[in-house]
Structure 1
Amino acid sequence: MEILSPGKKIKILRKKLGLRQDQLTDERITRSLISMIENGKRRLNRKTATIIAIKLNGFYKNLGQEITPEYLLESEEQQASNIVDENMDSLKPILKNKKEADQQHVFESFERMIELANQWELQEKEAEIFIIRGKYYFDKGEYNLTLADYFNSLEYYIAARKVEYIAILYIRISKCYIKMSLFEQAAFYGDKAYLLADSTKLPNSNEIKAKSLFNKIVCYGKTAKFDLTLQEIEKFKNLKYANDSLHDEVTLIEAETFFYLKNYEKAKKIYERLLHRESKIDIDTLIRIFENASMLYNKIGEPSNARGALKKAVSYKEQIEEQRVGIFLLNIAHSYYKINDFDGAIHLLDEIMLISKEKNLSEILLTDAYILSSEIYKARQSFLQAEEYLLKSEYYLEKNNCRSKLNVVYSLLGELYCDMGNINASKVYFQKIRNNQRA
């Protein structure tokens, strides 16, 4: 779509009908004025635009078209902004359907929009594009690119003093650092968002505070700063912010914290309080509750309740998105392994293998399933089966050149051959580790 000045629009519309400049004149506007407007030597005002639109419509009405003064007056910057908006609207359904998105098309669309916004100095529009593209990169797990876009956007909003956008970006940056396991930076930006919301009168102040506190709670929990975790949880509870999903997440972290502090009785009460709301809890949070409750029950000597919690988790399999079923089953299998229920773990791992034959599961996911299977068979002293699964893992990892994970498998094979008394084979794999580290 071509971007036209008001004068060029008038000229194109006039020539389309084969009209002369003097055919648009009357006692109020001269041919000289129309010529200067068309050549960009005079600015078009609303009064003149209205007169020219009426004149043009005298001819265009026969074509079933209407020329409005607003169309003639629309600036090149506004046209550029509208083009960006139209491109963004067409991109939104593609971004929403992440599975089917043509990555190259998405990338090129963003580049075109940024180039257009930059060309016409649409700084606010460019900042909006950076936020949306940052979210796109975040969903793809490309966190460095996410941060680059968020910080580019932040630069504009700080200069424009748009506090609400600054606070929201601080929260998003904090969330990104959490995904990168950079918890100190994440807590820093979470704190900046909270302080900004606390010191300004924003309409969504409590929402910003709640989300920033949640990010800080996650950071302190991940770094075992349990006193700070509980302190921030109390601040969160005292906020008047109604979001059941976020409250459930915070309550789950509270239960985990008491578990790590070995206050099992308090942790159990919190888990049971959460499970009392089972039907109202987000599915992903609910699965984590079942997994963590299982570990607690196992720790306090209630193995039947531990297995029961994991069975409940598995019962929600049909509600998991198809592309995530493999990961879901593998996570539950790991939970069974942690409570020493090897039969439960093997049953789910067998199901993963079956699914992989019917649908193309990620080879990396399949490799993780093989590694867990080998751990279980090794624990059962079934060394040959453990070896079989580790060799399958080695094949897939070498095929995909996953060096970091290859060292894990090489190490497991080296230890397994030691247990089997095959020292020469063990030496081969320890040498492979050294070679891999040098590569």
Structure 2
Amino acid sequence: MSLEIPSQGQKLKNLRTKLNLTQKDLVIEGVTREFISMVEKEKRHFSKATAICFMQNIIEYAKIKSIDMDLSFDEEYLSRTIKEDAEMYCKLSLEKSSTMEEYLDILSICNKYEISNVMIMVYKKIGDKLLNEAKAVEAFINYDKGMEIIDQKNIMEYKILILNNMGICKLRLLQYNEAIYYFNKSIELSHIMNDYKIYNKILYNMSLVYSNMKNVCKALQYIKEAKERKDIKDEKNIFIKIRIIEALCYEDIDDYNKSIEIYRDLKDNFNIEDKVILGNIYNNLAIALFENKKYEESKAYFGKSKELRSVYDRLHLARTFIHESIIYINLEQYNDAIDVLNKGLNLCNEYNDYEYLNKGYKYLEDIYKKQKDYNKLKEIYKGILHFAKINNNAKEEIYGLSGLIKLEISLKNYEVIGGYMDILNESIDLISNKL
């Protein structure tokens, strides 16, 4: 996209033509018609104060002549530099834009006029869009580009937000230690800048990552801090999400009664209008009820969760299918379990939900081991390996390779084991180098 921004002289001449004014009409005390002519020929330049005075007169002429002026024709229009006009144009365009093509056009203008602060905003917008589309790797790359400019130019405005979102990318990619690094950075910066606008969200993210790591003690530490904050009740949805993580922590220490109590309290007493959150609560309540061996009630809540998520939260619908499979696995109804798991895995693939793709594969692994279906088992390990490579997740790569090697040894397929061992050693070396 090519954007040509007029100089002060060109602006003045264009406005005068638009309003059908002569140079003489614009003469004010201390500024002759000749001086106006020289400005239009770009031989002279108005001071800021004079430019504002001229623009005020022009706006009045427009009102008298009932001519509608664009919002960008404000009192400072004539006094702005070309770079300032480009910045204003980019900011206004960014507010209206939503497609990648539009964002890239704005980025091109920002590059041309070296508008660093807006470039950061654009990279954040692109990152947000990609993150919402479950493209965590690409989102992280764009946040990182924004962070590079932030560090070069020492522009702090969006730093906390971007650090937090970089942490979310790493969380989605199951790179938990890196997620913690970025969340910690955003917490530190919140304290330094005395900026707590998204602090509760960061505490929620911290509790979530530690919950996913099964570090209940750490997760509850961040939950406690969040619950004690005076402003937490003002952020109803964040508070509810934090209580959901709290319930999950109690599940991890097998206190299902406590977790059911939390879910029922949220469901019955918080008037939850957000269907995404309600779908999550139904899903989690179903899991806790299953653990308490209340299978029929559990199935009913899985059904309610699927009903909501299929409409309002398809991004997480896979999770309900995969969780629901535990009922059928427990009852040894393996065909039903496999059917439910495959529905979940298809959705995980569609929405790049690598965490539950992994979980679903491991449920299938257990089923196929019990059924001694070695061909299916081999497919599962190759699937784990495939997605581990996509996500640069050495730990899961080792898991998939180890499974393949053990399986091939049990089947006495010794000729393929050497190749797997070489890849396994490379993965182990990669992890060792990071330590």
Structure 2 unaligned residues grouped into runs of 5+: 428-435
Contact 2:6 2:82 in 1 (8 A): yes
Report whether the alignment pairs 1:84 with 2:90: yes
How far residue 250 of structure 1 moved from its aligned partner, in angstroms, is 0.9
Q: Which residue of the partner structure matches residue 331 of structure 1?
A: 322
Deviations, residues 95-152 of structure 1 (Å, cap 9, x unaligned): xxxxxxxx5x25632431431451xxx4544443343344345443132431341463
How far residue 387 of structure 1 moved from its aligned partner, in angstroms, is 1.7
Contact 1:25 1:31 in 2 (8 A): yes
For 1:400 and 1:269, the matched residues in 2 are separated by 37
Deviations, residues 315-354 of structure 1 (Å, cap 9, x unaligned): 43532456765x346533554466465344233246569x
Q: Which residue of the partner structure matches residue 44 of structure 2?
A: 41
Contact 1:298 1:339 in 2 (8 A): no
SS of the residue corresponding to residue 185 of structure 1 reads helix
Contact 1:371 1:390 in 2 (8 A): no
Q: Which residue of the partner structure matches residue 433 of structure 2?
A: none
For 1:65 and 1:275, the matched residues in 2 are separated by 53
Q: Which residue of the partner structure matches residue 432 of structure 2?
A: none
SS of the residue corresponding to residue 34 of structure 1 reads helix
Deviates more, 1:24-33 or 1:260-269: 24-33
Q: Which residue of the partner structure matches residue 100 of structure 1?
A: none
For 1:20 and 1:303, the matched residues in 2 are separated by 85
Distance 1:423 1:364, change over 3 A: farther
Contact 1:3 1:76 in 2 (8 A): yes
SS of the residue corresponding to residue 45 of structure 2 reads coil
How far residue 370 of structure 1 moved from its aligned partner, in angstroms, is 9.4
For 2:342 and 2:210, the matched residues in 1 are separated by 37
Deviations, residues 368-424 of structure 1 (Å, cap 9, x unaligned): 7995685365244252xx5257459859988999697887666555555666xx423
Deviations, residues 143-191 of structure 1 (Å, cap 9, x unaligned): 24313414634775766xx6xx565455445545544422441442243
Report whether the alignment pairs 1:423 with 2:429: no
Contact 1:150 1:169 in 2 (8 A): yes
How far residue 7 of structure 1 moved from its aligned partner, in angstroms, is 1.5
Amino acid in the other structure paired with 1:250? I
For 1:266 and 1:91, the matched residues in 2 are separated by 46
Identity %: 17
Report whether the alignment pairs 1:114 with 2:110: yes
Distance 1:233 1:340, change over 3 A: same
Contact 2:116 2:149 in 1 (8 A): no
For 2:222 and 2:283, the matched residues in 1 are separated by 24
Q: Which residue of the partner structure matches residue 221 of structure 1?
A: 211
Structure 1 unaligned residues grouped into runs of 5+: 95-102
How far residue 259 of structure 1 moved from its aligned partner, in angstroms, is 2.4
Distance 1:77 1:406, change over 3 A: closer
More relative contact order, 1 or 2 (CA 8 Å, 6+ apart): 2
How far residue 9 of structure 1 moved from its aligned partner, in angstroms, is 2.8
For 1:430 and 1:168, the matched residues in 2 are separated by 47
**Which of residues 234, 237, 252 is equivalent to 2:227?**
237
Contact 1:221 1:257 in 2 (8 A): yes
Amino acid in the other structure paired with 2:420? I
Contact 1:291 1:309 in 2 (8 A): yes
How far residue 251 of structure 1 moved from its aligned partner, in angstroms, is 0.9
Amino acid in the other structure paired with 1:213? L
Q: Which residue of the partner structure matches residue 273 of structure 1?
A: 265
Deviations, residues 287-342 of structure 1 (Å, cap 9, x unaligned): 544454444444444444544443443343532456765x3465335544664653
Amino acid in the other structure paired with 2:421? R
Q: Which residue of the partner structure matches residue 98 of structure 1?
A: none
SS of the residue corresponding to residue 265 of structure 2 reads helix
Distance 1:218 1:11, change over 3 A: same
Contact 1:117 1:125 in 2 (8 A): no
Alignment of 1:169-208 (within 5 A): 169=162, 171-176=164-169, 178-179=171-172, 180-181=175-176, 182-193=178-189, 195-196=191-192, 200=194, 205=196, 207-208=197-198
For 2:284 and 2:123, the matched residues in 1 are separated by 37
Distance 1:434 1:287, change over 3 A: farther
Q: Which residue of the partner structure matches residue 368 of structure 2?
A: 378
For 1:88 and 1:138, the matched residues in 2 are separated by 18
Amino acid in the other structure paired with 2:339? H
TM-score, L = length of structure 2: 0.68
Q: Which residue of the partner structure matches residue 247 of structure 1?
A: 239
Distance 1:344 1:87, change over 3 A: same
SS of the residue corresponding to residue 316 of structure 1 reads helix
Contact 1:134 1:146 in 2 (8 A): yes
SS of the residue corresponding to residue 371 of structure 2 reads coil
- Higher alpha-carbon Rg: 1
For 1:378 and 1:304, the matched residues in 2 are separated by 26
For 2:96 and 2:246, the matched residues in 1 are separated by 42
- Two-structure CA RMSD over aligned residues (Å): 5.1
Contact 2:204 2:226 in 1 (8 A): yes
Distance 1:291 1:158, change over 3 A: same
Distance 1:416 1:208, change over 3 A: closer
Give the count of matched residue pairs: 402
For 1:363 and 1:195, the matched residues in 2 are separated by 34
TM-score, L = length of structure 1: 0.68
Contact 1:134 1:145 in 2 (8 A): yes
SS of the residue corresponding to residue 280 of structure 1 reads coil
Distance 1:336 1:111, change over 3 A: farther
For 2:384 and 2:262, the matched residues in 1 are separated by 42
Deviates more, 1:369-378 or 1:181-190: 369-378
Q: Which residue of the partner structure matches residue 387 of structure 1?
A: 375
Deviations, residues 6-45 of structure 1 (Å, cap 9, x unaligned): 2133356679999997897799754531343232423251
